[in-house]
Chains A and B, each alone.
Chain A
Amino acid sequence: MNSNPAEASINRASGKREDTVSTEAAFRRLKPERGVSGDFIFKGVTVLFAFSILVIIAVMVVEMVDQSLPTIRKFGWSFVSGREWDPVQESFGALPYIWGSVVSSILALLLATPLSVGTAIFVTEIAPKRFGAVVAALVELLASVPSVIYGLWGVLVMAPWLQQTVQPYLIDHFGFLPFFEGAPYGVSMLAAVFILMIMVVPIITSITKEVLLAVPQSQREAAIALGATRWEMIRMAVLPYGRSGILGAVILGLGRAIGETMAVTMVIGNTPQISLSLLSPAYTMPSVIANEFAEASSALHGAALMEIGLILLAVTLVINVLARLLLWGMTRRGARGGAK
């Protein structure tokens, strides 16, 4: 980031100047005894707020573990690895749901991230200002559409289109691949991936846009001064600067994708199976909770659904940590590359 030593020193110098001025002003304004008690209260309040979040999460986890104890005791780890879900025989295994959630969310992100980052770059770097603003506003409008509307559109418009046009084409031309095997049902993993993609694009786009806008103009000017084309400027100066912000946007998108319930339930076909084929129906963790919780009258069934909720929390956490590690690795590599 500090590839230009001249620029860095200017920044530092000006920063210092500002610093001294503002500190002096602050000292003049504050009477010491009032400042101390104000600081104390402010600190106390922020600590309280921060801890309340921790407490809420802790209470949630404790409550969920407590509620799912019957299945944890009965099935142990085989609950996570089991493939059978039979409420009548009270035999529960969550693997097909974990598979469905993870695969649908990750595929949706793989499709949505380039699309979103591309849109954000267009809006901030390439488009004329007014036109860019219109595009950005339209994308953000997508974020406010309720998920049941996406679901209805998915099941009434998209699924028939997939069934009659897209899936037969995929079967005819790529049917030899395990990913496009089977009959065209319309509702499928593919439909869920598409719906999720449309739902996460506005989130990733609008955050990425803000991140790119926060890249200092001097970064761009420096790159162009070194003779970079616009594409090189974006690739070398803008995107690396916003890398952690963009990853944050993707993680927020993942949060939406993996927790999405209604729209996915309506288009995924709700069949607990593990299949490589994108055309076959699948099932996700939030969907099975939404579908079965209201009528789960046996204690074990309710506990099983509660444990699915717990696993959902754990899976989200694991993916989050993995993403952070990935970013950490990238930054370190980047830093080393820069030092050379």
Chain B
Amino acid sequence: MFNVVRKAITLLALLATTAVAGQAGAETLINGAGATFPYPLYSKWFSEYAKINPSVKFNYQSIGSGGGIKQITAQTVDFGASDKPLSDAELAAAPGKLLHIPTVMGAVVVTYNVPGAPKGLKLKVEDVADIYLGKITKWNDPRIADDNPGVRLPNAPIIVVHRSDGSGTTAIFTDFLRGVSSEWAHKVGTGTSVRWPVGLGGKGNEGVAGQVKTTANSIGYVELAYAFENKLPCATLKNKSGYWVEPSIQSTSAAAAGAVKHMPADYRISLVNQPGKNAYPIAGFTYLLIYQQQKNRETGRRLVEFLNWELEKGQKMAAPLLYAPLPENVKKMVGKTIKTIKY
């Protein structure tokens, strides 16, 4: 009796092993690593795509843009992901030609906690820069007050909050400040971590938002998606064309549409301070980084199939998750770029 049971179990185990092995043979595993910001959307894409094409499996590690760049350069992954375009030096360090494939856009909003101030406080972009430079120090400064008639702003020092961890959000925000203030460009510059002239550092979106929430008369910056989910007050900014623009998915997409005329073929362009009536000034692409010449034929083919699907069907999943989809004209350009991938 005991023997029979044991035989049966052995047989089952054997069957299970062969079944798994058989499946693994037909399955393509595609590894990726990089940016944390688009991770919720990417994981949605991967799980939706698995329903259509179950033979492809994605494994994405959201280790940060810096880590993604390092890993794709070292060729330990099939694709990288980054919130910032690679520098010329970084591109030169890669062993092959790396393509930037923009997937969606994100925006950064300026949030604040000012007792008595309404939602959508109006701030000129130059004023945001001077607040972060420590040159505008009080909320009732005439430069802020003049844009907000009828609002009683307190005679209180502005408490500036920024990200303490290295982050693509900081890179986009400082890129924006560099564009609006030559003093910022000269004194601070742009990067994932910078030397802040003033302010407190909070870790992550939640750290900055928490600090702003609990500190009266404070100002900070967080990702649009995070601000919307947590219903944080967002400042309305006056863009370079002179229009007041509220942060939203539409105004973020409008920033890319404004940039189309001078879009370089490798998409390495900053989307901050783009012209246009509706263009929100603090926006940026997030990219997938893929070698133009794929080493593995099968992986390359599957990857291109996925990219085409993402560009067609995937884009529609972006807005519900609070990412801005690519505008039509950019989508067409990206479609052509995907065709240049060889495998």
Residues 13-34 (chain B) with a chain A CB within 8 angstroms:
none
Besides A163-B214, A297-B192, 5 other A-B contacts (C-beta < 8 A): A89-B189, A269-B201, A270-B201, A293-B166, A294-B166
Chain B positions within 8 Å of A294 at CB level: 63-64, 66-67, 165-166
A187-B200, A187-B211 given as contacts; is B165 within 8 A of A87 (CB)?
no
Q: Which of A163, A291, A296 contacts B164 (CB 8 A)?
A: A291
Contact with B along A268-294 (1 / 0, CB 8 A): 011100000000010100010011111
Beyond A185-B215, A281-B200, is A266–B207 a contact (Cβ under 8 Å)? yes
Query: Is A265's CB under 8 angstroms from B203's CB?
Result: yes
**Cα of A186 to Cα of B215 in the assembled complex, Å:** 8
Contacting pair B194 A87 (CB below 8 A): yes
Docked-complex contact B194 and A269, CB < 8 angstroms: no
Q: Known: A155-B207, A270-B200. Is A295-B193 also a contact (CB below 8 A)?
A: yes
Q: Which residue of A lies closest to B198 (CB)?
A: A271
B69 touching A186 by the CB < 8 A rule? no
Q: How far is the CA of A287 from the CA of B199 in the complex (A)?
A: 17
Leading 8 A-B pairs by shortest Cβ distance: A295-B166, A270-B201, A270-B164, A88-B189, A294-B64, A86-B195, A295-B192, A295-B66
Q: Is B277 an interface residue (CB 8 A)?
A: no
Residue of B nearest to A294 (CB): B64
Contacts A87-B191, A297-B192; is A291 near B157 (CB within 8 Å)? no
- Which residues of the other chain, B, contact A192 by a CB distance below 8 angstroms? none
Interface membership of B94, Cβ < 8 A:
no
Which residues of B does A touch, CB under 8 Å? 63-67, 69-70, 90, 157, 159, 164-168, 188-196, 199-203, 207, 210-211, 214-215
Closest approach, in angstroms, between the C-beta of A281 and any C-beta of chain B? 5
- CB pair B200–A185 under 8 Å, yes or no, is yes
Residue of A nearest to B165 (CB): A291
List A138-166 residues whose CB lies under 8 Å from chain B.
155-156, 159-160, 163
Distance to closest chain A CB from B286 (angstroms):
14
List A contacts of B210 (CB < 8 A): 155-156
Question: Which residues of the partner chain A approach B66 to less than 8 Å between Cβ atoms?
Answer: 294-297
> Chain A contacts of B166 at CB under 8 A?
87, 291-296
* A296: chain B residues within 8 A (beta carbon): 66, 166, 192-193
B168: nearest chain-A partner, CB-CB: A295
Bound together, the chains give a CA A281 to CA B162 distance in angstroms of: 13
A97 CB to closest chain B CB, in angstroms?
Answer: 12
Contact B214 A159 (CB under 8 A): yes
14 A-B pairs whose Cβ atoms sit less than 8 Å apart in the complex: A85-B195, A87-B166, A87-B192, A88-B191, A89-B195, A156-B214, A163-B215, A183-B159, A185-B215, A287-B164, A291-B164, A294-B64, A296-B192, A296-B193
Question: In the complex, what residues of A have CB within 8 A of residue B199's CB?
Answer: 271
Contact A160 B195 (CB under 8 A): no
Q: How far is the CB of B250 from chain A (nearest CB, A)?
A: 29
Residues 168-194 of A at the B interface (beta carbon under 8 Å) = 183, 185-187
Q: State how many angstroms separate the Cβ of A165 from the closest Cβ of chain B.
A: 13
Q: Specify which chain B residues have a CB less than 8 angstroms from the CB of A301 in the assembled complex.
A: 193
Smallest distance from the beta carbon of B164 to chain A beta carbons, Å?
A: 3
